[in-house]
Chains A and B, each alone.
Chain A
């Protein structure tokens, strides 16, 4: 009766065939193909980078000058964001609505499921108030991030700054990942390998919203972050702050070095900036502001300013060369009738008393005297050509650390300029120049270019009577197995023998005792020094002063260089001597406080503005 009864088998067959296909497919994806297992792990196991503490930096007296500050970074997972009070959100984070829109669009374009960075460098206080409302903003969460903090607000050029690694550097290596912080300038850049420490990693289980569910297999695959090495530097931060104060509202620099070690105690480049400006949220804006500033606060004049001629401070080197070459005797006297004339070449001189010997020539900074010294060196009969003579002259300069990079441990150093025979051959043609052509080199003018650090270092060589240590900032690196510091322990000898130095040092001593540098006298110390006034074709002359004390076994060398300020004795000498006094005595003598006040208050940058109200 039921002719279709057999169709039950067809129906059962249809059922069974589907089940068999499913079973085979399940067999394939569950047993044969193991790629799903890898995908599942990729899903839930997040490899989280644990950032180490960056090494701290202390000054020579153990004072903390660079530390780490906790900030927060806000992340967003666009998929989870819904129904949030955008106005309140923007208000809590102090952002513009447009920023919110831009960041959300950026995040969405990147991925709707994967977190994107939304806002960086939120202070702990700001994050705290935001965190209270975090429950109202699904899809947002914060994560801690360490940034640099400079409690002394000082030494910006030396310390340098950190920032996110550039794409170019990123491509060249494998340790850093996009968004990692790296030292970009100053000590932060040089000692990056020590300061950075080593990143750790941990595997954590997360859910699809990236919420942590605990560590993977109780952390057996995790590696701890290793903190960076702490660094002790040679700076005397109190002295640095004081020098910066003296240099405020001026252009120029101050460099102080301990000559017996080459340790740099102070390096000021003015105008400077607070290093804290280049950390935190406003970093980008501040950087642009500093970069646009016509006074170039980001520029480290102390090592990068290669265009300064040394001026009269160079005369001591001239004298030392003459003595070493035997063309100058300490008791030599040359005529000075208000200058030096040779053919059409004239070098003017200022009024001074009758000279009696070399040290009185230094003391009174007689230009004519040193023109003769220079001419006698270059025109020696043992030299066949001017080329040969100048090459010899250059080699002396090189031995004093001029004309080449010194190798200080911060980037950006300029080599300065010591003119070579080839240089003059290019200008005048070979054989068409002689000592009189290049006579301005005698008094540290002309084509000479010396960085302030080189000038301070040259003074160290004089103070040490014939040698210097490469100037440097590193004093001690914690747990450093490579003993990096020893790179700076080698003596660099000058080509002038020790016995010739005493005459010159005596001249420098007399300069301060009774010459152009009298303002630099410090009670109880035999201070040596030399003023320099650097002719500046673009404006008012630069004022320079090199000094060291005590005369025997000197403890400190100071160079002050103040742009467009006139005579060396006006600003450079008082500033250098105040820094020196502060270092030697820890305090400024009562009778010199007026000087300190005047230096601090002097403003050489901002032109006086006469208010219209005061106008008659």
Chain B
């Protein structure tokens, strides 16, 4: 068994990608925060000043994570999960409400959002359970237990009113898929999302039904030699039609502001000063950036505070406006490189636990990136979740740092771990 320096087997490429993303984030926060008066970088009354503090705390935490023995994470995976679940429950009794969501603990001057930490805790618990003896996605018992591990925090967070953070847990489907969950679930999930969007976007449901019937007929004709599969396709088609009507029925029961948000994304509603305001201004900011952007600190949308939440959820706008297409491609490229690197890291593990955890990290990051960037460019409804490493905020930067560095720690010891 080799025993080398703690840092020797660290995946420095991932650390570099992390550092670049955090830097881009800080520069963008500085620009979004910039009000024409140059204040010091460390001015704690500003967001960019506070972010430096948070990044420093995150780095200290990262070092701690690397120093702690890797057995800590495997051994205490359930304990960590359990503690976070207790925090999530406690929030109902002693939590504070921030922006309509009762999901914060306020300690002194700091507020902590336990739901941010539920992500890595759940990733640990899922990895721990699925890497344990006897767990296999073939079995219903395994499927049931792993489902419960994921759904518990999801439901608790949803109940706090933070639907965005709750949806993040859906990303674990990718981890389960990697471990053998049937492709049908993925296909079914895709069909589910596609049908939901279509039934909301198209008012005349009959067109949709006719379309489904036509497509199904063609498929059944092509599969006429495989009667059983053809029958299955037919059954799916029938339930799809039923689902379409169900969606439009429940949509009718939604509250008006919820309906508005959905309709704006679907392009059915032009409401530039109402529900579509955030989306519209954010799209204008990014769209007006052009090829090379308006230049650092020269974004008119940014300067004029047209985009709300621009240091947090809409930080991508600053990149798009001030650095243009080049800037957005660099950020997308860095994220894609990091995700690919994480998948690569996960697959090189001998430990199933580390591989599972790695997929959890990749899935969570992916979901955040897609929802957040998709929202700023108008491809996804406005769901308030942060962009990993870039968005301003203590809980966000700390939780993503923990999430990533636990993986890097486990990875650095991959040669020491036999199991």
Contacts and interface: CB of A to CB of B under 8 A. Distances in A.
Interface string B319-352: 0110011001100100110011001001100000
B100 interface: no
A207 B277 CA distance: 15
B304 interface: yes
Contacts of B395: none
B385 to A, nearest CB: 16
B285 A213 contact: no
Band of interface residues on B = 35 or more
B177 interface: yes
Given A8-B178, A14-B174, A23 B329 contact: yes
A26 interface: yes
Main secondary structure of the interface of A (DSSP, over half): helix
Interface stretch (B70-78, B205-213, B251-259, B366-374): B366-374
Interface string B348-379: 00000000000100100010001001100101
Among B177, B285, B300, find the residue whose CB has the most chain A CB atoms closer than 10 A.
B300
Contact of A26 (B329, B359, B362, B366): B329
B343 A11 contact: yes
Interface stretch (A33-41, A169-177, A259-267): A33-41
Band of interface residues on A = 35 or more
Given A11-B174, A22-B373, A30 B325 contact: yes
A588 B321 CA distance: 79
B269 to A, nearest CB: 17
A135 interface: no
A213 B34 CA distance: 13
B178 A26 contact: no
B102 interface: no
Contacts of B325: 26-27, 30-31
A520 B383 CA distance: 92
Nearest to A40: B288
A30 B320 contact: yes
A346 interface: no
Contacts of B320: 26, 30
Interface in B108-130: none
A7 interface: yes
Given A26-B328, A26-B329, A208-B305, A36 B373 contact: no
B329 A213 contact: no
A112 B273 contact: yes
B287 interface: yes
A205 interface: yes
Given A23-B329, A37-B287, A207 B306 contact: yes
Interface string A429-453: 0000000000000000000000000
Given A5-B347, A44-B300, A208-B306, A22 B174 contact: no
A593 interface: no
B291 interface: yes
A209 B283 contact: no
A26 B288 contact: no
A209 B285 contact: no
A331 interface: no
Contact of B177 (A7, A22, A27, A37): A7
A282 B408 CA distance: 75
B286 interface: yes
A362 B94 CA distance: 108
A27 B287 CA distance: 9
Contacts of B304: 43-44, 205-208, 213
B347 A8 contact: yes
B287 A36 contact: yes
A29 interface: yes
A123 B373 CA distance: 51
A485 B73 CA distance: 97
B386 interface: no
B134 interface: no
Interface string B286-311: 11111100000000110111100000
A27 B284 CA distance: 14
B184 to A, nearest CB: 14
Contacts of A41: 288, 300
Closest 5 CB pairs of A and B: A36-B287, A40-B288, A207-B304, A29-B287, A44-B300
Given A34-B290, A41-B288, A205-B304, 15 more contacts: A4-B178, A7-B178, A8-B178, A10-B177, A19-B332, A19-B336, A23-B332, A25-B379, A29-B377, A36-B283, A36-B286, A39-B287, A40-B285, A207-B304, A207-B306
